[in-house]
Amino acid sequence: MVNFNALIAALWIVPSLAIVAMLAIRRPAWGEFLNLASALVVFGLTLTILVAAPNHEVVTAKQYILITPLGAWVLFCVGVVYLLASIYAIGYMRLLPEERPRLHKFYALQAGFALTMLIAPLMNNPGIFWIAIDFTTIVSAFLVGFEREAECIEAAWKYLIVVSAGLALALLGIILFYWGGTFTLGPTYALTWENLRLTAPKVPEALLFFSFLLTLVGFGTKVGLAPMHTWLPDAHSEGPAPGSAMLSGALLNIALLGIYRFLSIVDAGGYSLMGHTALLVLGVISLAVAGLFIVRQDGAKRMFAYSSLEHMGVLAMGFGFGGPIAFAGAMYHMINHSLTKSLMFFGAGNMMRAYETKSMSQMRRVLRYYPFSGGVWLLGAVAITGAPPFGLFLSEITILRGGILSANPWAVWVMAVLLILIFTAFLNHFRRMIWGPEPESGKEPTLKLSLWNILPMLLAFVPILVLGLWWPDGLWNFFQHAFAVAP
């Protein structure tokens, strides 16, 4: 029998020890090594937990820790992105010689950010889950402002203020959910996801739905769903590229997990249509806003930030449609988005340093100067738009199939039209970067990219291609089991 307590203890202890060692040694080379070693171990542990995860929920550590198939899947996404970002950080941060004396702090922050994301999905208490999400905000804000430029500091403060306001609403929603439970369980009881689901059928409809709307808006702010997304383009575009990959590829999934767990409480109360429709509406708005901003975007990482808004909208619609098919598509979309968006931020970081600009209008003839890494970046752009033969195409098609069978089939056609708009706008930007005329400055990039800059892009690209050509039966069965049990 698998000892989940030991696995989880190791999952939290390893990055904690790495953080302490990095801050004690204070040397960049040791920071690189310790953070990468931590990421390798964390990846192995999250994979072990995923493989060992039973087809039902496991509650342990005096009911404080919860392991579910969906939670294990989100943990695995964190492990994957943390490893890829740790590899890439070695090459990227070496391109910032002015930051070398502070690199041990960057790697400690990266490991600390990973640690907070490894705690949240395992919390069985919604209140402690909220605290863990808040810690992810605090730590990642320091990553966003790490380079200490005026734009970075402004983005970090905007991130803190907007997300904190959203999380305050989420906390109020949790309090109201707990109050609803007192009608059945008395004035005090253990605040767990299961208890909230058990008491939901006896909670007044207005109170239950209002509580859900507060948590939806609150955690939706953390996810970056529109119109609460205003922090996301700045935070994702101004932070170092490895941090941007972790923000987009890992953190947003965790906040969305929280929304889905609260949605399951509304489902248990018998009001699933209202809850799922509310989530679908936010998903549609997010897709629409992302499409409009991507059309007119010039900043490379900023465009990928709006792409994150798009894909969180797709995930919101996948969970909002409900049903086993759309749910499986959403889970598949999580890992494909985590991999593909990491690749895109790595490529953007490389090109920003090579061309010494954030503007895509100044990045021209990319394949001429960087044929391999530029080619992988271009293929990643095709993948991120949901085009075949890549994983995001399969996951989006599956979500659309599930949507046709749902109670809200109208959203399928809206989603399809908006995805086509985003596909056209996104690849039009890459058309200009790959084949457009030389910029007026006429400056040619001379930066030599190291293996550390290119390898993580390749490591991300291979699985998104494989997952687009082959959906393993084992994964499909796992997703169906995950749908059948509590999230």
pLDDT digits (tens, 9 = 90+) for 219-271: 999 999 999 999 999 998 888 999 999 999 999 999 999 999 999 999 999 88
Beta bridge partners of 359: 299
Instruction: Give the mean pLDDT of 276-285.
Output: 96
Give the separation between CA 245 and CA 247, rounded to whole angstroms.
6
pTM: 0.96
* N-terminal to C-terminal alpha carbon distance within the chain: 22
How many domains does the chain fold into? 1
Give the separation between CA 165 and CA 418, rounded to whole angstroms.
29
The domain containing residue 67 runs over which residues? 4-484
pLDDT value, residue 439: 66
Give the separation between CA 230 and CA 343, rounded to whole angstroms.
23
The token pair that represents 284 in the structure block: 């549609």
Q: Answer for the pair 292, 229: CB distance below 8 angstroms, yes or no.
A: no
The token pair that represents 60 in the structure block: 């342990």
pLDDT value, residue 278: 95
Closest by Cα among 162, 201, 167, 166 to 181: 201
Q: Answer for the pair 67, 57: CB distance below 8 angstroms, yes or no.
A: yes
Taking the alpha carbons of 9, 10, 15, 21 in that order, is the dihedral positive or negative?
A: positive
For the chain, the three-class secondary structure string (H helix, E strand, C coil) is CCCHHHHHHHHHHHHHHHHHHHHHHCCHHHHHHHHHHHHHHHHHHHHHHHHHCCCCCEEECCCCEEECHHHHHHHHHHHHHHHHHHHHHHHHHCCCHHHHHHHHHHHHHHHHHHHHHHHHHHECCHHHHHHHHHHHHHHHHHHHCCCCCHHHHHHHHHHHHHHHHHHHHHHHHHHHHHHHHHHHHCCCCCCCHHHHHHHHHHCCHHHHHHHHHHHHHHHHHHHCCCCCCCCHHHHHHHCCHHHHHHHHHHHHHHHHHHHHHHHHHHHHCCCHHHHHHHHHHHHHHHHHHHHHHHHCCCEHHHHHHHHHHHHHHHHHHHHHHCCHHHHHHHHHHHHHHHHHHHHHHHHHHHHHHHHCCCEHHHCCCHHHHCHHHHHHHHHHHHHHCCCCCCHHHHHHHHHHHHHHCCCCCHHHHHHHHHHHHHHHHHHHHHHHHHHCCCCCCCCCCCCCCCHHHHHHHHHHHHHHHHHHHCCCHHHHHHHHHHHHCCC
pLDDT digits (tens, 9 = 90+) for 427-481: 998 998 888 777 666 678 888 999 999 999 999 999 999 999 999 898 999 999 9
Give the separation between CA 27 and CA 366, rounded to whole angstroms.
35
Question: What percentage of the chain has pLDDT greater than the value 90?
Answer: 81
Question: What percentage of the chain has pLDDT greater than the value 70?
Answer: 99
Instruction: Give the mean pLDDT of 396-406.
Output: 95
Give the separation between CA 284 and CA 33, rounded to whole angstroms.
43
Give the separation between CA 135 and CA 139, rounded to whole angstroms.
6
Mean pLDDT of all residues belonging to the chain: 93
pLDDT value, residue 437: 78
From residue 321, alpha-carbon distances to 17, 275, 412, 422, 465 in Å are 42, 10, 9, 21, 26
Q: Is the pLDDT of residue 173 over 80?
A: yes
pLDDT value, residue 93: 93
Q: Is the pLDDT of residue 214 over 80?
A: yes
Angle at 35 between CA 29 and CA 37, to 5 degrees: 100
pLDDT value, residue 224: 92
Torsion angle, alpha carbons of 442, 446, 450, 456, to 10: 0
The token pair that represents 154 in the structure block: 């402004």
Range ranked top by mean pLDDT from 89-98, 126-135, 225-234, 357-366: 126-135
